[in-house]
Amino acid sequence: MDSFLIKGGVPLHGTVEISGAKNAVLPIMAATLLTSEPCVIRGVPNLSDVKFMGQILTWLGAQVNIEGDTVQVRAKKIKGQGDYDLVRKMRGSICIMGPLLGRLRKARVSLPGGCVIGARPINLHLKGFEALGAKITIQSGYVEAEAKRLTGGTPFLGGRAGSTVLGTANVMMAATLADGVTVIESAACEPEIVDLADFLNAMGAKIQGAGSPTVTITGVKELHGAEHHVIPDRIEAATFAIAAAMTNGEVTIKRARADHMHAVIDKLQEAGVIVERKGADMIVRRGSRLKSSDVTTLPYSGYPTDAQAQMMALMTLAPGISIITERIFESRFMHVSELTRLGADIQIEGPSAIVKGGRPLSGAPVMASDLRASAALVLAGLAAKGTTQVNRIYHLDRGYEQMDAKLRKLGARIQRVDES
3-class DSSP assignment, residue 107: strand
Min CB(11)–ligand EPU separation in Å: 27
Taking CB under 6 A as the rule, does residue 211 contact ligand EPU? no
Taking CB under 6 A as the rule, does residue 307 contact ligand EPU? no
Angle between helical axes of 22-31 and 165-175 (0-180°, round to 10): 20
Which of 80, 92, 102, 153 binds ligand EPU (CB under 6 A)? It is 92
Amino acid at 274: I
Residues 397-416 that bind ligand EPU (CB under 6 A): 399
Return the number of the residue (240 or 249) whose C-beta is nearest ligand EPU: 240
Return the number of the residue (250 or 326) whose C-beta is nearest ligand EPU: 326
Taking CB under 6 A as the rule, does residue 122 contact ligand EPU? yes
Return the number of the residue (121 or 343) whose C-beta is nearest ligand EPU: 121
Q: What is the largest CA-CA distance in the chain?
A: 64
Whether 189 is a known active-site residue: answer no
Which of 233, 236, 250, 306 binds ligand EPU (CB under 6 A)? It is 306
Closest CA to 373 of 406, 402, 339: 339
**Terminal Cα distance for the chain, rounded:** 6
Min CB(222)–ligand EPU separation in Å: 26
CA 98/CA 96 separation, integer angstroms: 6
Min CB(394)–ligand EPU separation in Å: 14
Taking CB under 6 A as the rule, does residue 263 contact ligand EPU? no
Taking CB under 6 A as the rule, does residue 328 contact ligand EPU? yes
Output the DSSP codes for 4-27: EEEE--PPPEEEEE--B-HHHHHH
Which of 160, 221, 288, 350 binds ligand EPU (CB under 6 A)? It is 160
Which of 161, 274, 283, 298 binds ligand EPU (CB under 6 A)? It is 161
**Segment interacting with ligand EPU, rule: CB under 6 A, options 57-65, 163-171, 354-362, 402-410:** 163-171
Q: Give every CB contact of residue 266 below 8 A, 6+ residues apart in sequence.
A: none
Which of 7, 58, 59, 121 binds ligand EPU (CB under 6 A)? It is 121
Taking CB under 6 A as the rule, does residue 159 contact ligand EPU? yes
Closest CA to 242 of 253, 233, 254: 253
CA 314/CA 334 separation, integer angstroms: 16
Burial of 345 (0-12, 13-18, 19+ CB in 10 A): middle
Residues that bind ligand EPU (rule: CB under 6 A) add up to a total of 24
Return the number of the residue (120 or 289) whose C-beta is nearest ligand EPU: 120
Taking CB under 6 A as the rule, does residue 123 contact ligand EPU? yes
* 386, 250 contact by CB (below 8 A): no
Residues 13-52 that bind ligand EPU (CB under 6 A): 23, 26
Other C-beta atoms closer than 10 Å to the C-beta of 288 total 7
Please state the φ and ψ torsions of residue 31, each to the nearest 5 degrees.
-65, -20
Do strands 320-325 and 295-296 pair parallel, antiparallel, or not at all (unpaired)?
parallel
Identify how many contiguous H helices and E strands the chain contains and give both numbers. Answer: 14, 22
Which of 19, 164, 308, 310 binds ligand EPU (CB under 6 A)? It is 164
Amino acid at 262: H
Closest CA to 382 of 3, 12, 2: 12
Which of 35, 247, 305, 369 binds ligand EPU (CB under 6 A)? It is 305
Min CB(104)–ligand EPU separation in Å: 22
CA 242/CA 193 separation, integer angstroms: 25
The one catalytic residue in 39, 95, 115, 189 is: 115
Which of 63, 113, 116, 119 binds ligand EPU (CB under 6 A)? It is 119
Residues 335-374 that bind ligand EPU (CB under 6 A): 371-372
Return the number of the residue (53 or 207) whose C-beta is nearest ligand EPU: 53
* 111, 143 contact by CB (below 8 A): yes
Residues forming the site for ligand EPU (CB under 6 A): 23, 26, 92, 119-125, 159-161, 164-167, 305-306, 328-329, 371-372, 399
Name the residues annotated as catalytic.
115
